[in-house]
Amino acid sequence: MSIQVSNISKRYGAQLALDNVSFTISPGEIVGLLGPNGAGKSTMMKIITCFIPPTSGDVSVYGFDIREQSLEVRKKVGYLPENNPLYTDMYIKEYLEFMAGIHQLGKRTAKRVDEIMEMTGLNPERRKKIGALSKGYRQRVGLAQALIHDPDVLILDEPTSGLDPNQLVDIRNLIIEIGKQKTVMLSTHIMQEVEAMCSRAIIINHGKIVADDSTGQLLKHNEETDQVKVEFDKEVSAALLKAVQGVIDVKRISGNIWLIEAGREHDVRQDIFRFAVDNHLAVLSMQKQNTRLEDVFQQLTKK
């Protein structure tokens, strides 16, 4: 196992930020730690990277215990903290050399800094101070420092937050590329991030795991009902629509456009069509909605 988290709880004073969390991550996985703000994502990551101790429970990284063998754990793990704190007065290279020093790379420093600047696409901006870089390039610097000592595991706390759409795509691709060689755990509160980069999602809410599965399986769990979006030409009452055979729930999206949830036993679209004819309504459009991971996330974390 790359990362083994067993029964981790973390208290900040009276507040329970993590409540008996357990999971394991295998080498080579790219796992998304997904949850709304305040769910406990950063807390989990700080514990795995030995920045704060848990209140109870155990974590091991490649068999090294975070309490007993924290130096070994730090060698194995590269960490991009939330908000990516950087020394804005330093030049990129200077900063990476400084980080290499912390990891005691010694004579290997110059070669490694060159390698990592190439890998993270920093060369075009190599003459700038970190403070003069765009947010996208700062994230590259953050990734570069996390990778400098060639760790097997990368822990990335909201690596794409605050990026514009182009930067976002670049950083995502970079993470996917890096992920081919490493075990990666990244946190986000955005479902699409997980769909774009991860093979598996661990969803946490209020410090508890509410789902842990491959992204494909997470979608299947939600497929007990069909959602059909339909537009009528005239006003319809919710009560009438709800009375249609097979319909479980209805929601007005706007005007005469409705989202209808129905059981899977048969195709509800035929019944809606018959209902429209019987009530002298015209169906202007009707589509079955694809289940999105976004909906799964909302269902699991709405409490």
200 binds ligand ADP (CB under 6 A): no
Beta bridge partners of 12: 15
Closer Cβ to ligand ADP, 10 or 200, answer by number: 10
CA–CA gap between residue 6 and residue 85 (Å, rounded): 29
Task: State the residues that interact with Mg ion by CB under 5 A.
Answer: 41-42, 82
Site for ligand ADP contains 191 (CB under 6 A): no
Q: Minimum CB separation from ligand ADP for residue 245, in Å?
A: 43
Question: Six-digit token pair at 142?
Answer: 């953050």
Distance CA 52, CA 42 (A): 11
Q: Which is nearer to Mg ion, 41 or 140 (CB)?
A: 41
**Largest Cα–Cα distance in the chain?**
82
DSSP state of 265: S
CB of 206 to ligand ADP, least distance (A): 8
Closest CA to 164 of 137, 124, 129, 192: 137
Hey, which residues between 31 and 50 contact ligand ADP (CB under 6 A)? 35, 37-43
12 touches which of Mg ion, ligand ADP, none (CB within 5 to 8 A by kind)?
A: ligand ADP
Select the binding partner of residue 205 from ligand ADP, Mg ion, none (C-beta < 5 to 8 A, by kind). Answer: none
Q: Min. distance of Cβ 179 from ligand ADP in angstroms?
A: 21
CA distances to 52, 155, 156, 184, 185 from 152, in Å: 21, 10, 13, 9, 11
190-218 burial by CB neighbour count: b if 16+ within 10 A, else e? bbebbbbbbebbbbbbbbebbbbeebeeb
* Residue 51 DSSP label: S
CB of 46 to ligand ADP, least distance (A): 8
> How far is 2 from 48, CA to CA, in rounded Å?
11
Task: Show the binding pattern over residues 43-82: x = contacts ligand ADP (CB under 6 A), - = does not.
Answer: x---------------------------------------
Task: Indicate which of ligand ADP, Mg ion, none lies near residue 39 (CB less than 5 to 8 Å, by partner kind).
Answer: ligand ADP
Question: Which CB, 28 or 38, lies closer to ligand ADP?
Answer: 38
Instruction: Rank residues 41 and 112 by Cβ distance to ligand ADP and give the closer one.
Output: 41
Reading the block at residue 187, the tokens are 């946190």
Residues that bind ligand ADP (CB under 6 A): 12, 15, 17, 35, 37-43
